[in-house]
Chains A and B, each alone.
Chain A
């Protein structure tokens, strides 16, 4: 039986996560368990129309509750904020892509779901415990105070190990989505995916910086 058809396995994963979190400090709300079960939907199949433009939700229903969406949006914008390199993650629909990801019926995504949803719950509980508010409602300094404990800089304290794994996964997913957009491409310095009349190779300043010459004449 694979992960897709095994709600029991999924629950076991979730419980494991909770057990670790409980051992570390406090017991999160176990209502998450029901939501972490597998949605009974199919993937996009082996012969989808490839030439269309799609958006999250086109192939399977999304998961986040309004509260989860608020937390994801807030965290995505902390991870990838508006700055001199480009817009904030939420303006590029990054929360939608994360929702699409954890809602997908495939094993790898289902596995991430079991890290992401309890992780979000931990984030909310931690925010309430430390600062008496939901994560999205906190001022930037308090959001950063929590993120600094779990972002992976330096040594992560034992009680934050699971939360740190969640943050790492979240950052990776958010970046995967952010850099798959036009604005994300500008932010990272990708200037392709446009038709050109000729391909001229690297420009002179690149050749000079690397100390190379074009050898194909």
Chain B
């Protein structure tokens, strides 16, 4: 089965999946390997990374030297199609006119969704991250714990390939021996920071990222993932053999034509399609989950964007993995006599407790890096090192004025120049001519930037509902965002900025620019929540199997069910939970429970 149009759908599927990114991709993979017949709706167009990725294009090969524009918000070569902070014809609205209460919502309209351009940071949540309320009395505990998810973190890491090291640090889990791929060597600025951060007792360690630093072991991994299923083993092994190891060039945000990093389109969807059990309908914009007389979901209504017509697919179970915002919107728009406030929304909690990561940045200049001998620091197309949250004990002892933690990502490499001036006027002091070129060369590689990814405590003021009047170009009501950071996040951002300045100074440098002010909600593109999981149907939307309480064959498999948003980037956890939910669907299907 293949990429199809809406006229080619089967009369009924076992499972209909909305969304083709991390959650939808993993779900399709898991279900089709077990023989379930699936249909996937993707609101964007088909996308083929092998031929569509701008791999080695220099800034001079791209319009405006790859500078961000209103058409491509992260620059021309960014692997985003028909997306960004705004999507033509698909508005969203703000409840407040206040600039700081704005929520920024990044979407893309392409097969694989936002997995095509993400940073590939693949950090496991730790045991604390599933039980935050038990630790500090704030927010919500998950109904599941680290031990429930651990086997799936391991399986996902084996399937997609994640590099990194096991450091055994607090709440920063190790992977089982042999699962992680070798960590890439440290770059000069990373090693220099690692050395000088010791003075501040701050650990700098290898980050985990979904990039192949060597080819996957296609002989053995498939057997471990699917013992007793030779057909699945063969398909997965073939798919793994199609993926090359990183050739240490080009930024991962461009995507990867040699499949060296994880994108749903290069890792999850090809083997799922190879089973023959998956139909993918691109340009299919889901508008409503339909409800049968038996109270179960029986399929979806969607707009075929190629014709503008409303179409329907039928299925015995429905999985929403449309991104947390779109999943919330779909739930709220699926109204019926039984569910006048949206399907599965008896609790009234659909759309509530949306969270993003806390972002704050400081840039600086480190003279030690001036005039270094030229050397290639492209590396794995993203960071090799990071700083995990490290102040658990101080926080526990009440020494910090905020709850939860942040990890730190940074750059400071001799990255690809072009598209911006390498020398600010203040440093150049008016130089032009050969003097300018000499100064540009001297300063190149001497600038560093630090940014935090922190945990927001969920609050009542951050949520999404349907705008009462605004509709998208197909007449579907759109989301209206409500946003207010609390002092907890502001204090965290201030702490991070202070830390980053101290790190830069520890290296003998000076901070030059800082966005000490916390970034707007949504800007980090880690929005999670809005359909929280829990162990009480009155206080949550779904249970610990991502299963909507009132509609037992409806599952939410993006980040919408997250009751908290650990500082760890959400994607790996989305995939682990999708695989776990997929196994549950398979088991329930076998028992005839769905």
Which residue numbers of A lie inside 8 Å of B, CB to CB? 43-51, 53-56, 58-59, 78-81, 83-86, 92-93, 97, 100-101, 104, 106-109, 147, 151-154, 168, 171-173, 175-177, 179-182, 184-185, 187-203, 205-207, 209-216
Cβ-closest chain B residue relative to A212: B191
Residues of A with C-beta under 8 A to B434:
81, 83-85
Is the CB of B195 closer than 8 A to any CB of chain A? Answer: yes
Partner of B186, one of A152, A209, A215: A215
Indicate which residue in B72, B165, B429, B432 contacts A46 across the interface (CB closer than 8 Å): B72
A177 touches B188 (CB 8 A): no
**B488 contacts the other chain (Cβ, under 8 Å)?**
no
Bound CA–CA A208/B60 (angstroms): 34
Nearest 7 pairs of A and B residues by beta carbon: A180-B418, A180-B59, A153-B430, A201-B185, A152-B430, A195-B247, A192-B378
Interface 9-mer from B13-21, B50-58, B279-287: B50-58
Chain A residues within 8 Å of B378, by CB = 192-193, 199
User: Using Cβ atoms and an 8 Å threshold, which residues of chain B touch A213?
Assistant: 191
**Cβ contacts under 8 Å, B187 to chain A:** 201-202
Which chain B residue lies CB-closest to A77? B433
| A168-B425, A216-B183 known; A85+B438 contact, CB < 8 A | yes
Structural contact, B70 and A151, CB atoms closer than 8 A: no
B419 touching A176, Cβ below 8 Å: yes
Q: Which residue of A lies closest to B417 (CB)?
A: A179
Q: Give the residues in chain B near A50, CB-CB below 8 Å.
A: 52-54, 76-77, 79, 254
Report if A189-B444 is in contact (Cβ < 8 Å); known contacts: A201-B185, A201-B186. Answer: yes
Residue contact B61 to A54, C-beta cutoff 8 Å? yes
The docked-state distance in angstroms from the alpha carbon of A23 to that of B62 is 40
Task: Tell me if B184 and A216 are in contact (CB < 8 A).
Answer: yes
B64 is an interface residue with CB less than 8 A from chain A = yes
A51: contacting residue among B54, B88, B428, CB under 8 A? B54
B110 closest partner in A (C-beta): A47
> Can you name 11 A-B pairs with beta carbons within 8 Å?
A50-B254, A81-B433, A151-B430, A153-B431, A176-B421, A180-B65, A185-B58, A190-B414, A195-B248, A196-B376, A202-B377
Query: In the complex, which residues of chain B have a beta carbon less than 8 angstroms from the beta carbon of A44?
Result: 63, 69, 71-72, 76
Contact check, B373 vs A185: say whether CB atoms are below 8 A apart: no
CA distance A83 to B440 in the complex (A): 14
CB contacts under 8 Å to A, within B211-249, are 246-249
User: Across the interface, do A189 and B414 meet the contact criterion of CB distance under 8 Å?
Assistant: yes
Question: Across the two chains, which residue of chain A brings its CB closest to B250?
Answer: A193
Which B residues form the contact surface with A (CB < 8 A)? Answer: 45, 51-67, 69-72, 76-77, 79, 81-84, 87-88, 165, 183-188, 191-192, 194-195, 206, 246-250, 254, 368-369, 372-380, 384, 414-423, 425, 428-434, 436-438, 440-441, 444-445
**Contact in complex: A80, B374 (CB < 8 Å):** no
Are B192 and A210 in touch, CB under 8 angstroms? yes
A207 to B368, CA, bound (A): 12
* Cα A79 to Cα B414 with chains together (Å): 23
A41 to B416, CA, bound (A): 30
Q: Which residues of B contact A176 (CB under 8 A)?
A: 59, 65, 67, 418-421
Knowing A50-B53, A175-B440 are in contact, say whether A216-B432 is a contact too (CB < 8 A).
no
Q: A101: which B residues are within 8 A, CB to CB?
A: 64
Question: Shortest distance in angstroms between A216's beta carbon and chain B's nearest beta carbon?
Answer: 5
User: A83's closest neighbor in chain B, by CB?
Assistant: B434
Contact A199 B64 (CB under 8 A): no
- Tell me the bound Cα distance from A46 to B186 in angstroms: 36
Residue of B nearest to A4 (CB): B70
Q: Which residue of A lies closest to B423 (CB)?
A: A175
What residues of B have a CB within 8 angstroms of the CB of A190 in the complex? Answer: 374, 414, 416-417, 444
**Nearest CB of chain B from residue A176's CB, rounded to whole Å:** 5
Q: Which of A175, A182, A196, A214 has the most CB of B within 10 A?
A: A175
Max chain A CB contacts within 10 Å: which of B63, B67, B368? B63
A181 touches B425 (CB 8 A): no
A172-B71 in contact given A83-B437, A85-B441, A209-B373 (Cβ < 8 Å)? no
| B61: contacting residue among A53, A172, A200, CB under 8 A | A53
Which residue in chain A gives the minimum CB-CB distance to B68? A108
Q: Which of B52, B65, B77, B184 contacts A199 (CB 8 A)?
A: B184
- Which residues on the A side are within 8 Å of B441 (C-beta)? 85, 187-189
A48 in contact with B76 (CB, 8 Å) = yes
Per the bound structure, the CA–CA distance linking A106 and B436 in Å amounts to 29
* Minimal beta-carbon separation of A146 from chain B (angstroms): 11
Q: List the B side residues contacting A172 at CB < 8 Å.
A: 420-421, 425
A54 touches B444 (CB 8 A): no
User: Once the chains bind, are B379 and A182 in contact (CB under 8 Å)?
Assistant: no
